[in-house]
């Protein structure tokens, strides 16, 4: 329990600090948008580029783990997108964020530290692979659906062209792709570039969480409770169960890799969902509520996880 609290509580405290600063009027009314823009255009792309550029592509390749972990994400993402469209009457862009909230875990700032604390250095590689899948693929698909949802209508060829053009300019997609291209060369990042992207990247998580707190000031707490509840149940319960089925039964992998896959699936929703939602002005309030709710409740669900998969 102590390792969980040591990692989860600081995350929640940063959101709380942002909220208190907003309530006290220390920062201006537009501070959440400005801070989120910094994360979206500068800090998060730097973090994503460095994370991808420093990956050993040879070690990352593990077909069963990749297919099992990604398969659970694809299945849940498809179902939750349909639920958002049919049950909650959301358009495609809103449904994309709804689905992302249900599968996009806080892997960088919670998952990797928890995996290392629980299972040692050997857990670093599967945790990094899961993070690569989480960032490069989940974010990419979400951006495609959002762009398609906001640019839909008219000539289909023109719509597809506009979507692809927008994706080619999106920093959250371009940065990891460039990073993977760099990793493919096998050349280490130059020291100044590594230091630059590392310094900026470290700021991404805290700034995004702080911006969530600022955004929540004056916002209704009761709006969208059913949707937030469905997303939270999906993220904290359904995704780890489906992932466990994939990596333990359907595509069984090494026991340590299986434990890490399930842990990464059990994480609360990452702040990247809020960054994307606010950047597009889509589904922002429910996304911020989802991140807060899932972060708090993850203390209980991750504790249950460690009952079945004790550290060591």
Task: Output the pTM of the full model.
Answer: 0.81
pLDDT of 146: 87
pLDDT of 227: 94
Tens digit of each residue's pLDDT (9 = 90 or more) over 221-264: 666 889 999 999 999 999 999 999 999 999 999 999 999 999 99
- In order, the DSSP letters of the chain are -HHHHHHHHHHHHHHHHHHHHHHHT-S-TTHHHHHHHHIIIIIHHHHHHHHHHT--HHHH--HHHHHHHHHHHHHHHHHHHHHHHHTS---HHHHHHHHHHHH-B-IIIIIHHHHHHHH-GGGHHHHHHHHHIIIIIIHHHHHHHHHHHHH-SS-HHHHHHHHHHHHHT-HHHHHHHHHHHHHHHTPPPPHHHHHHHHHHHHHHHHHHHHHHHHHHTT--SSTTHHHHHHHHHIIIIIHHHHHHHIIIIIS---HHHHHHHHHHHTSPBPTHHHHHHHHHTSSHHHHHHHHHHHHHHHHHHHHHHHHHS---
Question: Angle at which helices 171-185 and 44-53 pack, to 10 degrees?
Answer: 20
pLDDT of 205: 79
pLDDT of 182: 92
Nearest CA among 228, 183, 248 for reference residue 49: 183
Tens digit of each residue's pLDDT (9 = 90 or more) over 236-245: 999 999 999 9
d(CA 262, CA 107): 12
pLDDT of 5: 74
| Residue 52 · residue 176 · CB < 8 Å | yes
The low-confidence residues of the chain, meaning pLDDT below 70, are: 1-3, 59, 152-160, 162-163, 166-167, 220-223
Only one residue has tokens 């050997």, namely 122
pLDDT of 221: 63
d(CA 79, CA 33): 31
Domains of the chain: 2-308 (1.20.1530.20)
pLDDT of 223: 67
Question: Angle at which helices 191-216 and 31-38 pack, to 10 degrees?
Answer: 150
């Amino acid at each position: 329990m102590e390792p969980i609290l040591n990692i989860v509580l600081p995350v929640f405290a940063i959101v709380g600090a942002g909220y208190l600063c907003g309530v006290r009027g220390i920062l201006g009314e537009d501070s959440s948008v400005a801070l989120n823009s910094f994360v979206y255009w500068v800090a998060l792309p730097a973090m994503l580029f460095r994370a991808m550029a420093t990956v050993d592509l040879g070690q990352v390749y593990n077909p069963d783990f990749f297919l099992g972990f990604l398969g659970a994400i694809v299945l849940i993402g498809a179902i939750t997108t349909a639920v958002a469209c049919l049950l909650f009457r959301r358009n495609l862009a809103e449904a994309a964020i709804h689905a992302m909230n249900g599968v996009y875990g806080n892997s960088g700032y919670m998952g990797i530290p928890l995996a290392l604390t629980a299972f040692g250095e050997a857990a670093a590689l599967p945790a990094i692979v899961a993070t690569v899948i989480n960032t490069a693929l989940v974010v990419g698909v979400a951006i495609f659906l959002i762009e398609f949802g906001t640019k839909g209508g008219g000539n289909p060829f023109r719509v597809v062209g506009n979507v692809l053009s927008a994706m080619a300019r999106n920093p959250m997609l371009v940065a990891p792709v460039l990073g993977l291209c760099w990793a493919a060369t096998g050349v280490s990042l130059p020291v100044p570039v590594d230091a630059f992207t590392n310094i900026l990247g470290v700021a991404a998580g805290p700034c995004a969480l702080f911006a969530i707190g600022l955004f929540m000031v004056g916002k209704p707490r009761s709006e969208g409770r059913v949707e937030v509840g469905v997303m939270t149940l999906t993220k904290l319960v359904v995704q780890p169960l489906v992932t466990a089925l994939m990596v333990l039964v359907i595509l069984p992998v090494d026991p340590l890799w299986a434990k890490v896959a399930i842990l990464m699936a059990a994480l609360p929703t990452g702040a990247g969902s809020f960054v994307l939602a606010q950047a597009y002005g889509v589904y922002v309030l429910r996304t911020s509520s989802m991140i807060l709710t899932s972060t708090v409740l993850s203390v209980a669900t991750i504790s249950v996880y460690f009952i079945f998969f004790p550290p060591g």
